[in-house]
Amino acid sequence: MIACYTDKLSVSPGERFALYASVDNGPCRLEIARVGANRDTVYVKDNIEIGNHPTPPNADRDGCGWPVALIVEVGDWKSGYYDIALTDSAGETAHHFVCVKARAKARAVLALATNTLHAYNWWSGANAYCDVTSLMTGKLKMPDAMARGIGRLSALRPFTQMLLAPPDDVPRLVNARKRGFREKSWAGENLDWSRAHRVSPYDAAAGFLNRWENAFVRWAEGEGIAFDYLTDRDLDSDASVLDGYECVFLVGHSEYWSGPERDVIEAFVDRGGKLAIFSGNTAFWKVRWDGDTMVCHKWAGESAEHVAPKDATHLWSHPIFARPEAEITGLSFIYGGYHRLGLCAARGVGGYTVYRNKHWALEACDLFYGDIIGDAIPLIGYENDGCLFEFDVDGLPAPLPGLGVPKNLEIIAFTPAAFAEPADNPYRPLIPPEQLGVVAQIAYGSDNAAAQARVTRGHAVMASFKRGKGEVFNGGTTEWAHGLAAGDSFVTQITRNVVKRFLP
């Protein structure tokens, strides 16, 4: 075994962080490198003596409690994501990371989706979704394993390595092609690869390396776009952390937000900040931090603990909070869903159909009404956010009220998505089941069969709106960064237009 973690995920130049580790084959070599358009090594130390330390019971909830292996002082390192690679004498490597904040602020900041990473991390057993170890070893079937997901997740433990540092050839969590006639459904770009690497159902939904944020950073640095880095927890712990910034980027899968984090982002936009969301399933779940533990009871949030509503955890759209996420994002996963995954829009086009081609985000894109963009990537896949809408007298989509969707939302493009696989699925279900009754009650005021069926009919939506003195653009899909990585001309130009408007 070789595994490691740090006492914090976010540091500033001049600060120190502790590395905790356990290995069978010492001594070890430590390399720390900033990962952007290139990999730039900033720290190397050899011959680190580290012992083998037991993993205590319930380390997923309570942390590992290992002794400090090394204290690292952060030099004058550029703001960014820093990969920590610890290699033992047998050549095995364990990865962790730290986010380095900036001394002098740039105009924009990328908020790393670290809460999502904690929610999916199943090192030592379970995550917020499932007892993954029991599932992967065959001790429990999916429904029973999901019933044993945990609501308290320690940050003082390693991350599972396929989640944090997958190989360069890791496939996307999307079906690259449409399902054929009477073909069994599937989930993932390369099932043979996933089986060979023993990938769990939760290993592809978070993380930086070789995933969405990494792809966005490569593109942005290639474009000469300068920005700093923060973590979700930075937004939670410092109400002034966004002071001085003009634009916040959210990329990939920013699914879990705490109350203080949301307060900071909303205040930022209201006073004139710009929020560029190149993400899907954004701000879906409400969490809170209790010391070094992230509390996330998900569907059990109403019964798992007795706390004030401001401290409770559940869907942000739950009436107990009266703060549906669409108030700040413009869209909701409840009105969106999956695309090209299992039987959710399995034969979907994989791209957006353009309706409002005169919108500022489509300037110089050579796009016209009815054009489809991103279908070859596919741009629409995995998780997507949407809204209810109708067609106005001009034949353009206009938002309908519901769960905080702003009246002034401008819908640019959309395509069908499905919140869940159909109840009469003739194939083995592949997407872990959501509690449709709860969602239907929240969205439509009823949990009957008709309301649940209505929930499954959604749309991925690209949109923008103004809020307070600020403005929000929402690409509506987790896969936006893959459009940039593929060099798609339309996705690239739209992203440039957003950056140009938000960072003039």
pLDDT at 423: 86
**CA torsion angle for 350, 493, 277, 78 (degrees, to 10)?**
120
The pLDDT assigned to 277 comes to 98
- The residue assigned the tokens 């592949």 is 430
pLDDT at 367: 98
> How much helix, strand and coil, in percent to the nearest 5, is found in the chain?
20, 30, 50
Is the pTM of the predicted complex or chain greater than 0.85?
A: yes
Provide the residue-wise pLDDT of the chain in tens; the chain has 504 residues.
999 999 999 999 999 999 999 999 989 999 999 999 999 999 999 999 999 999 999 999 999 999 999 999 999 999 999 999 999 999 999 999 999 999 889 999 999 999 999 999 999 999 999 999 999 999 999 999 999 999 999 999 999 999 999 999 999 999 999 999 999 999 999 999 999 999 999 999 999 999 999 999 999 999 999 999 999 999 999 999 999 999 999 999 999 999 999 999 999 999 999 999 999 999 999 999 999 999 999 999 989 999 998 999 999 999 999 999 999 999 999 999 999 999 999 999 999 999 999 999 999 999 999 999 999 999 999 999 999 999 999 999 999 999 999 999 999 999 999 999 998 889 988 988 789 999 999 999 999 999 999 999 999 999 999 999 999 999 999 999 999 999 999 999 999 999 999 999
Residue 36: which CATH number?
Answer: 2.60.40.10
Q: Which residue has the tokens 């409690």?
A: 65
Residue 378: CB partners within 8 Å, gap ≥ 6?
Answer: 174, 176, 339, 340, 349, 350, 351, 479
Residue 282 identity: T
Q: What residues are paired with 72 via a beta bridge?
A: 17
Q: Is there a contact between 184 and 429 (Cβ–Cβ < 8 Å)?
A: no
Hunting for tokens 């209810």 — which residue is that? 388
Does any domain span residue 213? no
Structurally, the chain folds into a number of domains equal to: 1
Question: Which pLDDT belongs to residue 497?
Answer: 98
Q: Is residue 366 part of a domain?
A: no
- 37 lies in a domain? yes
- What is the pLDDT at residue 474? 99
Q: Which helix (H) or strand (E) holds 352?
A: strand 352-354
Residue 232 lies in a domain: no
Q: Identity (one letter) of the amino acid at 119?
A: A
Find the domain containing 88 and state its range.
2-101
Q: Is residue 186 within 8 Å of residue 124, measured between CB atoms? A: no
Residue 385 lies in a domain: no
Q: How far is CA 379 from CA 59, 417, 485, 493, in A?
A: 38, 13, 11, 14
Partners of 84 in the β-ladder: 32, 96
Residue 16, in any domain of the structure: yes
Strand arrangement, sheet containing 28-35: 10-11, 93-100, 80-87, 28-35, 39-48
Helix intervals (H) in 45-102: 59-62
Domain contains 359: no
Q: What's the confidence (pLDDT) of residue 433?
A: 74
Task: Output the six-digit token pair for 43.
Answer: 């720290």
Q: What is d(CA 279, CA 36) in angstroms, rounded to the nearest whole number?
A: 19
Residue 20 within any structural domain of the chain: yes
